[in-house]
Amino acid sequence: MAHIGLIVNPSAGRDIRRLTGGASVVDNYAKRSTTVCVLDGLTLVDETVSVEIMPDKTGIAEHAIGEAPSELDISKVEMPIKETAADTRRAAAHFRETADAVVVLGGDGTSRDAALELGDVPLVSVSTGTNNVVPTPVDGTVAGAAAAVIATAVVDAETVTTRHGKIEVRADDVNGEKHLTGLATIGITDRPFVGTRALVDPTELLGGVVSRAHPAAIGLTSVAGCIEPIAPDAPGGAALRFGDPDETPRSVRAILAPGMTTTIGLESHESLDWDEPAVFELQDCVIGADGEREVELADATVTMTPTANGPRLVDVDGALQAASEKGALISDRPLADAE
């Protein structure tokens, strides 16, 4: 029996960054509804699949189990609940050993936490977060259907998944060596502490490295995309350094956060190949991965390197098109003899 993992982050899309920018908040009612849609999508295939869902303290998993289609074999992962990113990582580590495909509901941070533990398990990432560069804005039913055709081998996973890059960070500062990994972006903020994680003043953004770029994205990925787009499956990435737009040779008008467009002064833009590092010499600052500020630094040398060994992201449209082209979504049955 094919086995599918389901991770729903209750905290995604609800933090202060959305409120600061005036963007909408993805509440848990919406996540419950999307989760039930994912489960319905899993019934697209004839084969019965088993599902495990990450537990939580907000009732999302319980609601999903109660509303799941009767033909699904569904249960919760047996694990402690910490109400932190550790829950996502623990569930993903479990699915690395048990699942044929995993659906994740959250933003870039949730997708990153899951991807770092999933290994080669195909990942369907659905956007319900604050930063949604990697996750796909797709209906939950469609996401579930795509996971089902891959998990049951209706389609060849190799043909409908792409390997996304990562950005590996090594920072040497006065307190020693620190490490961080991002999927889409690593950003540097001119602040001595993490704080609320909300970026209100664009002059605080010093630069960073991206593994993908498009002007229709959000955050550092949008800024880089306004200069030179980078496809999700393209090799390498780009390093950017910012300054005062009144003093830099160029400036970029981009979408820095939900509900926030701004002008960024561009000092330099450098294309990077796989495993080609970008080095930053920094004073007091914070570096963050995929919109999440995480590591405080002082007098640091920071090396950011795009690498090719990221998660296997599912092409949702491609997976369902491949299933259709194989005729896997059509059932032929003989007509009853006319009397």
CATH label of the domain that carries residue 185:
2.60.200
Total domains in the chain come to 2
Same domain for 8 and 113, yes or no, is yes
Same domain, 297 and 181: yes
Mean pLDDT of residues grouped by 10 in the chain (339 residues)? 96 54 67 96 95 96 96 96 95 98 94 94 89 86 98 96 96 94 94 59 87 92 95 95 94 87 95 98 92 88 96 96 94 63
Let me know whether 136 and 37 are in one domain.
Answer: yes
- Cα distance between residue 296 and residue 72, in whole Å: 45
| Shared-domain flag, residues 63 and 136 | yes
Same domain, 294 and 315: no
Same domain for 203 and 179: yes
- Return the pLDDT at 100: 98
pLDDT at position 193 is 66
Are 153 and 180 in the same domain?
Answer: no
Together in a domain, 196 and 73: no
Same domain, 115 and 16: yes
What's the pTM value of the predicted model, to 2 decimals?
0.89
Q: Is residue 92 part of a domain?
A: yes
| 176 within a domain of the structure (yes/no) | yes
In a domain, 292, yes or no: yes
Q: Are residues 147 and 241 in the same domain?
A: no
Per the structure, the complete domain to which residue 193 belongs is given by 166-307
CA separation for the pair 149, 65 (Å, rounded): 21
Quick one: 13 and 91 in the same domain?
A: yes
Which two tokens mark 185? Answer: 């972006």
User: Is 62 inside a domain boundary?
Assistant: yes
Own/partner pairs for 193-198, CB < 8 Å, 24+ apart?
193/286, 193/296, 194/286, 194/293, 194/294, 194/296, 195/293, 196/16, 197/15, 197/16, 197/17, 197/288, 197/292, 197/293, 198/15, 198/16, 198/17, 198/20
125 occurs within a structural domain: yes
Whether residues 77 and 196 fall in one domain: no
Q: 66 lies in a domain?
A: yes
What sign for the dihedral angle of Cα 144, 149, 153, 158?
negative
In a domain, 240, yes or no: yes
